[in-house]
């Protein structure tokens, strides 16, 4: 029996998403960032974003959602056949039936105008799910889109090739190996950035909409231990979560237990650059601060509440002054956790406004069902089915979460390795002692 998982994965294809997957009768949910195409493999997150392929007939996909109002039961494909006949007769180039059929499926998903609704081929689905499971090769970054439609770096994954090469959150990717990204989908960008371990990819970046950079990055296997912790000066525990993975619940509990045993007087929870991940992991993290049965988030479709997620953990860190660090790279599951701790008066938020992904996707296997490992055996449709709301009732989609104390890090601070946000967090906690 596989453990139920939910993901909030990176924005647009990764950015904060709540993805739902069912395995052996149980659903998996993912909260991904904008597409967080975790380039790490893809990413953003693939997790980056998101799954989307669908066949709504699978029994595990039937959640009782009402059909979209106004749409006919079946589409009239006569016009599609007309276009196909003209292409088949007149197109001066090479085409295959598979290419055209895949284009039709992707086109249906893209017609929604929703960056989180996507169709994945079998290979793309495998890549996405591999990233969700923490197995992939790439540069280790999450991709998304800005308000102008540019493909951007939502966040480089700490300790991986993108970060080491100098890639920063909000960098615009102008070209990939010399090819313009104008009009390119996040999925296509991820596919072009990914590759075999040891090979390189050249990214032409625009930083702060003014500075042009060319970086050549060597791809590598992306291995991420999602939680790290230590006790710093003045008895302050410092926890960093890089992604909300399947290992996060056990690791956060280990961290909470150790910090509690060491009688820390304050805790910094660093979620900066965290593109999201598994929903259950976000609940588990929040539960280390919140007493049982406190609301972590609600999932709604329109005004109808579909699910309410409550804290379930031991609340080992409850009552210990806590600061959560967030920035523009904090998405989906990171935003869920930050919002839950803030709204339940368990933490203060310091840093910059988070990414802003407040919608829910459901990944549906197309054409082949699920394998014994829970992954789709064929294609996949990731479709937006609902929105998620903070305990205070707010939806943060395209808005993000504002910190209680805004603290920025300048380029000069970066060069001097002066982490002004961390300093502000520690100063606040010292004052509480």
pLDDT at 88: 94
Cβ distance 11 to 17 under 8 Å?
Answer: yes
Q: How far apart (Å, rounded) are the C-alpha atoms in residues 265 and 153?
A: 35
Q: How far apart (Å, rounded) are the C-alpha atoms in residues 398 and 409?
A: 22
Identify the CA nearest to 126 among candidates 384, 383, 385, 365. 365
Residue position matching structure tokens 């109808």? 304
Q: Residue 385 has which token pair?
A: 């089915």
pLDDT at 66: 55
Q: How far apart (Å, rounded) are the C-alpha atoms in residues 109 and 105?
A: 7
Residues involved in catalysis: 332, 343, 357
pLDDT at 259: 97
Cβ distance 77 to 66 under 8 Å?
Answer: no
Domain boundaries, the chain: 227-356+400-432
pLDDT at 375: 79
pLDDT at 80: 93
pLDDT at 40: 34
pLDDT at 151: 95
Q: How far apart (Å, rounded) are the C-alpha atoms in residues 198 and 173?
A: 21
- Angle 337-340-342 from CA coordinates, rounded to 5°: 105
pLDDT at 394: 96
pLDDT at 277: 80
SS3 387: strand
- Each residue's pLDDT, cut to its tens digit, for the chain (433 residues) gives 333 334 444 433 333 333 333 333 334 455 544 433 333 333 333 332 322 222 222 222 334 455 666 788 889 999 999 999 999 999 999 999 999 999 999 999 999 999 889 999 998 888 777 666 566 789 999 898 888 899 999 889 888 999 999 999 999 999 999 999 999 999 899 989 988 889 999 999 999 988 999 999 999 988 767 899 999 877 999 999 988 888 899 999 999 999 999 999 999 999 999 988 888 899 999 999 999 999 999 999 989 999 999 999 789 999 999 999 999 999 999 999 999 999 999 999 999 999 999 987 788 999 877 877 677 889 999 998 889 999 999 999 999 999 999 999 998 998 888 999 999 999 999 999 8
The H or E element that residue 159 is part of is none
User: Which residues on neighbouring strands pair with residue 44, listed in sequence order?
Assistant: 37
pTM of the model: 0.69
Handedness of CA 417, 420, 425, 431 (dihedral sign): positive
pLDDT at 48: 29
pLDDT at 13: 35
Q: How many CA atoms lie within 13 A of 323 on its CB side?
A: 28
Which CATH class name applies to 227-356+400-432?
alpha beta
């Amino acid at each position: 029996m596989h453990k139920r998982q939910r993901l909030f994965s990176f924005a647009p294809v990764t950015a904060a998403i709540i993805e739902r997957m069912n395995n052996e009768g149980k659903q998996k949910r993912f909260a991904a960032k904008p597409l967080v195409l975790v380039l790490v493999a893809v990413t953003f997150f693939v997790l980056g974003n998101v799954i989307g392929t669908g066949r709504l007939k699978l029994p595990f996909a039937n959640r009782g959602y009402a059909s979209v109002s106004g749409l006919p039961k079946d589409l009239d494909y006569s016009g599609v056949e007309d276009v196909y006949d003209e292409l088949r007769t007149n197109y001066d180039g090479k085409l295959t039936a598979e290419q055209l059929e895949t284009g039709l499926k992707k086109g249906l998903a893209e017609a929604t105008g929703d960056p989180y609704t996507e169709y994945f081929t079998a290979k793309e689905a495998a890549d996405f799910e591999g990233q969700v499971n923490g197995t992939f090769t790439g540069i280790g970054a999450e991709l998304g889109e800005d308000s102008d439609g540019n493909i951007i770096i939502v966040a480089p994954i700490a300790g991986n090739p993108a970060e080491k090469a100098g890639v920063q959150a909000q960098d615009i990717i102008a070209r990939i190996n010399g090819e313009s990204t104008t009009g390119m989908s996040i999925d296509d960008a991820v596919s072009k950035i990914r590759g075999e371990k040891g090979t390189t990819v050249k990214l032409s970046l625009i930083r702060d909409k003014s500075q042009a950079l060319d970086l050549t990055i060597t791809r590598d296997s992306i291995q991420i231990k999602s939680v790290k912790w230590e006790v710093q000066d003045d008895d302050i525990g410092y926890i960093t979560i890089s992604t909300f993975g399947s290992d996060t619940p056990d690791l956060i509990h280990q961290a909470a237990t150790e910090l509690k045993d060491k009688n820390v007087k304050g805790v910094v929870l660093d979620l900066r650059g965290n593109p999201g991940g598994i929903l259950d992991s976000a609940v588990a993290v929040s539960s280390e601060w919140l007493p049982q049965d406190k609301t972590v988030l609600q999932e709604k479709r329109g005004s109808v509440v579909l699910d309410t997620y409550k804290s379930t953990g031991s609340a080992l860190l409850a009552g210990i002054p806590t600061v959560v660090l967030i920035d523009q790279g904090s998405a989906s599951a990171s935003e869920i956790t930050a919002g839950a701790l803030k709204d339940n008066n368990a933490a203060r938020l310091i840093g910059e406004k988070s990414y802003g992904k407040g919608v829910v996707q459901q990944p549906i296997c197309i054409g082949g069902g699920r394998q014994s490992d829970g992954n789709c055996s064929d294609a996949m449709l990731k479709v937006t089915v609902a929105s998620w709301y903070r305990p205070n009732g707010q939806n943060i989609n395209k808005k993000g979460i504002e910190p209680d104390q805004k603290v920025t890090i300048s380029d000069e601070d970066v060069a001097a390795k002066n982490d002004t946000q961390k300093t502000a967090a520690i100063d606040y906690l010292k004052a509480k002692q």
